[in-house]
Structure 1
Amino acid sequence: MTKDVLVSDEQLAEEILTLLSRTPGTVRVLLEDLPAGLLHADEGEGTFSPFSVLGHLIQGEIDDWIPRARWILEHGRERAFPPFDRFAHVERTRGRSLDELLTEFETLRQTGLAALREVVEGDVDLDADGLHPELGEVTLRQLLTTWAVHDLNHIAQIVRVVAHRFEDEVGPWKAYLPILGHDG
């Protein structure tokens, strides 16, 4: 897919804000009252279950997106921002209920959206450079766009993991179901 028309900074910011604002509700609808077998299913060692995805999204609200945006604006390319621990959520979510985590994510995302609005509504250069500890030079625009796509990626992951639970039960229809890893 190619991008035919460049969007303005204002339009890009609005699209990002729209997507980010929908994630908590989408995740709640997908996970709330999900049977434990589906909530904790994963795709093998080192992969995320739907429950783990929620924990990971929460950890990102705390340690990743807004802190990195502020870091870029403060330090530019002078200093790489701290690495993000993709598995920090494991200990943080241990023993906590799904509803508690859903509520925490909703609260943290509201705070993050307010902070993001302050960033994008100010006179900020979305092409401000930063330094990622592994990827090297990045821009604020790339970070914020990645945040929205990261959410979509994890929503898709939740759906994919749940769908794979039924892979053997769909019988010959598996050939028509790309979510199960087939061309369909």
Structure 2
Amino acid sequence: MQFDLEKSIEILGRTPDVLNTLLRGIADDWVLNNEGGETWSAYDVMGHLIHGERTDWVARMEIILSDGPNKTFARFNRFAQFEESKGKTLSQLLDEFTKVRMENIDLLRSKKLTHNDLGKTGIHPSFGEVTLEQLLATWVAHDLNHIAQVSRVMAKQYKEAVGPWIEYLRILQ
């Protein structure tokens, strides 16, 4: 599928509802457990998504669209959520994510991006030159990746309990 901004916004706008429906009001075991080691829980993922909304997608879009000579992005701290989420409930994180995401979608729409805008570039600290189209497509894929991650982490809570059906459950393998 070719990149389509309106189709992208369809997903970006639904992500808060998906996560709210999946996570709000369920037992802490579902949202605080991870897959072991240094993996992330659903709670951790929510903090990560909020940090990205505040410091990544829109900030980088603004750099790309700016007239400034420096188009280099700041490094993204993939682990900032561990400090930023301290003391917050999952409900607070879900509310915060919904609020900041809707603000970002409104900002994105207000840009009235053209085909020419989507071809504009910035400099990623690891990848080098990237386009606005690539950044926005990655934002969508990033959401879907973390929705899948949350589902997988939750499903693995029952990895042993499913017994022989594990053979049919790719999410547990």
TM-score range, shorter chain: over 0.9
Q: Could you say which residue in structure 1 is the equivalent of 2:110?
A: 118
Q: Could you say which residue in structure 2 is the equivalent of 1:35?
A: 27
Q: Partners of 2:37 and 2:69 in 1: how far apart?
A: 35
Counterpart selection for 2:170 from 164, 170, 178: 178
Q: 3-state DSSP class of the match of 2:161?
A: coil
Q: Partners of 1:129 and 1:137 in 2: how far apart?
A: 6
Say if 1:76 and 1:19 are closer, same or farther in 2 by CA, change over 3 A: farther
Gaps of at least 5 residues in structure 1 are none
What are the residue-to-residue correspondences of 1:24-173 with 2, within 5 Å? 24-74=16-66, 78-119=70-111, 121-123=112-114, 125-173=117-165
Deviation digits for residues 75-128 of structure 1, max 9, x if unmatched? 688442101001111111111111111111111011000111122x24452011
Q: Partners of 1:75 and 1:19 in 2: how far apart?
A: 29
Question: May I ask how many residue pairs the two structures share in their alignment?
Answer: 172
Once superposed, what is the RMSD of the aligned Cα atoms? 1.6
Structure 1 vs Structure 2: percent identity of aligned residues?
A: 42
Q: 3-state DSSP class of the match of 2:79?
A: coil
Q: 3-state DSSP class of the match of 2:66?
A: helix
Asked if the contact 1:55–1:89 (Cα under 8 Å) also holds between the matched residues in 2, the reply is yes
Q: Partners of 1:76 and 1:164 in 2: how far apart?
A: 47
Q: Partners of 2:152 and 2:159 in 1: how far apart?
A: 10
TM-score (norm 1): 0.88
Counterpart selection for 2:10 from 9, 18, 21: 18
Divergent runs of 4+, >3 A: 75-79
Gaps of at least 5 residues in structure 2 are none
Asked if the contact 1:53–1:154 (Cα under 8 Å) also holds between the matched residues in 2, the reply is yes
Instruction: Note the C-alpha offset of 1:25.
Output: 0.6
Deviation digits for residues 16-35 of structure 1, max 9, x if unmatched? 10000000010111111221
